[in-house]
Amino acid sequence: MEITVFGKGCSRCESTIHRIEREAVELGVPVTIHKITDEIEIIQNGIMTTPAVKIDGKIVHSGGIPSIEAVQSWLT
Amino acid sequence: MFELFTRLADWMTYSIMGLEKTTKLADAVHFFIEDTTKIFFLLALMIYIIGFARSYVSPEKVRLWLTGKSRLTGYVLAALLGAITPFCSCSSVPLFIAFLSAGIPLGVTMAFLITSPLVNEVAVVLLGNALGLKFTITYVGTGLVLGIVGGFVIDFFKLDKWVEPYVWQIKMPTPATAEEAEGWAWREKFARGEAIDIIKRVWIYVLIGVGLGAGLHGYVPREWFLEHAGADNIFAVPLAVLIGIPLYSNATGIIPVAEVLMNKGVPVGTILAFIMSIVAISLPELLILRKVLKPQMLLFFVGFLFVAFVGIGYLFNFIFGG
């Protein structure tokens, strides 16, 4: 599963990545996480608030650390 | 209602730790326990309540609401929304570009960015607790006016030229807001999440701030403050603002210190100017915004805030003093 996390490397963005990685291991789903830190690229994806998460070309989350339940729902 | 926290502090300081009542150490410890327990209680309660209101706004919605508004409405609305809309400072640049690309004037965008760090529920709780309702209302009102005036001034001098030119070229697709559940269950969960998230982020600053305050409270004599920062020292206000610029903290860390300054007789305006300078002007934030704003604009921004804070300091010393 390909997941893109957008955000300029603030602590919330890192927490988001860790959370996705942890839940993926937990559920046994192989994931590749791409990090986009360039603000221009972030904006061109239609994202205003970070951290944001994109899966299969769709923004599933924006602004703040996603809840564990949300992360689990993306992975399953 | 808050007697509970005084009694808790009494019990822990004198009974559990067995400290002698009149010593400086007991005084400092008592202050620390009473203040931290009360602050955490109030923070959790307030963020939870305000969390419901916040579940109705997001920067994406603010962008929609501000698009196509007249300038005057724009400044006022932007400042008000800046006060209640949460966003992480690392989102400043995408947010800035997104606002401009929607045709929202630069001044309106800046009004939002000026008010946002100044006025927020954490600051309101701490100010209310430390300095009382009158001061808190003054602070919030001043913060809003500052955003509105700042935005107006930026547009008045047509400072669009000090935005990096590439910013105007960027076309942003319609923001893709993630689908969100609505309804009370979702809002309750959102509010609870906010309370936990914010407290997790600020607890360390609360402890440091109150710790610092407790130290000052117990150990630095009132005469020292009166001599250096009292109403008679005409340079106290600009000096407080200057000291505040490089110091960076969110409102959380500084307000407990401000409380002690107030108790020690430092005038209200000086304290207000000091808090605002620390909270509103942060070097990391300026570095982030350098990506979209030319150095001239950043200098103007800092200069404007400096003048405004000094003015506010003198004004409120004049109104509340004497």
Inform me whether the pLDDT recorded for B311 exceeds 80: yes
Residue B198 binned pLDDT confidence (cut-offs 50, 70, 90): confident
User: Could you tell me how many residues make up chain A?
Assistant: 76
Burial letters B108-127, b for 16+ CB under 10 A, else e: bbbbbbbbbbbbbbbbbbbb
β-bridge mates for residue B233, sequence order: none
Tell me whether residue B4 is in a domain: no
Q: Is A46 left (phi over 0), alpha (psi -120 to 50) or beta?
A: left
The enclosing domain of A45 has a CATH number of 3.40.30.10
- Residues of chain B neighbouring A39 (CB-CB closer than 8 A): 93-94, 97, 291
Per-residue pLDDT, averaged over A3-19, amounts to: 88
Tell me whether residue B1 is in a domain: no
Specify whether the CB–CB gap between B255 and B123 falls below 8 A.
yes
Tell me whether residue B7 is in a domain: no
Tell me whether residue B290 is in a domain: yes
Q: What is the pLDDT of residues B33-46, one digit of tens each?
A: 988 898 899 889 98
- pLDDT confidence of residue B199: 87
Domain that holds residue A52: 2-75
CB contact under 8 A, B97 and A64: no
Q: Which helix (DSSP H) or strand (DSSP E) does residue A73 occupy?
A: helix A68-75
CA atoms of B26 and B206, how far apart (whole Å): 20
In A, minimum Cα distance to B168 occurs at: A40
Q: How far is B59 from chain A (nearest CA, A)?
A: 7
Q: Is the dihedral of CA B284, B288, B294, B300 positive or negative?
A: negative
Specify whether the CB–CB gap between B270 and B257 falls below 8 A.
no
- The larger pLDDT score, comparing residue B112 to residue B224, is at B112
CA atoms of B284 and B24, how far apart (whole Å): 37
- Residues of chain B neighbouring A45 (CB-CB closer than 8 A): 173, 176
Per-residue pLDDT, averaged over B191-219, amounts to: 84
β-bridge mates for residue A5, sequence order: A35, A53
Q: How far is B200 from chain A (nearest CA, A)?
A: 12
Q: First-to-last CA distance in chain A?
A: 10
Average pLDDT of chain B is 85
Tell me whether residue B280 is in a domain: yes
Closest CB from B95, B175, B178 relative to A61: B178
Task: Tell me which residue of B5, B74, B69 sits closest to B40, measured CA to CA.
Answer: B5
Which one-letter amino acid corresponds to residue B77? L
Number of domains in chain B: 1
Q: Which helix (DSSP H) or strand (DSSP E) does residue A64 occupy?
A: none
- ipTM, two decimals, is 0.84
Closest CB from B90, B98, B189 relative to A48: B98
Q: What is the pLDDT of residues B81-127, one digit of tens each?
A: 988 886 777 788 888 999 999 899 999 999 998 898 888 777 888 88
Tell me whether residue B304 is in a domain: yes
Q: What is the pLDDT of residues B125-149, one digit of tens each?
A: 888 888 888 888 988 999 999 999 9
- Residues of chain A neighbouring B176 (CB-CB closer than 8 A): 45-47, 58-59, 62
Closest CB from B58, B94, B101 relative to A47: B94
Three-class DSSP labels, chain B: CCHHHHHHHHHHHHHHCCCCCCCHHHHHHHHHHHHHHHHHHHHHHHHHHHHHHHCCCCHHHHHHHHCCCCHHHHHHHHHHHHHHCCCCHHHHHHHHHHHHHCCCCHHHHHHHHHHHHHCCHHHHHHHHHHHCHHHHHHHHHHHHHHHHHHHHHHHHCCHHHHECCHHHHCCCCCCCCCCCCCCHHHHHHHHHHHHHHHHHHHHHHHHHHHHHHHHHHHHCCHHHHHHHHCCCCCCHHHHHHHHHCCCCCCHHHHHHHHHHHHHCCCCHHHHHHHHHHHHHCCHHHHHHHCCCECHHHHHHHHHHHHHHHHHHHHHHHHHHCC
Q: How far is B250 from chain A (nearest CA, A)?
A: 16
DSSP label at A66? P
In B, minimum Cα distance to A43 occurs at: B94
- pLDDT confidence of residue A9: 74
The Cβ-side half-sphere exposure at B184, using a 13 Å CA radius, reads 0
Largest CA distance in chain A: 34
Specify whether the CB–CB gap between B96 and B289 falls below 8 A.
yes
- Residues of chain A neighbouring B54 (CB-CB closer than 8 A): none
Domain that holds residue B245: 24-320
- pLDDT confidence of residue A53: 93
DSSP label at A57? T
Number of domains in chain A: 1
Q: What is the pLDDT of residues B277-301, one digit of tens each?
A: 888 877 777 888 898 999 999 999 9
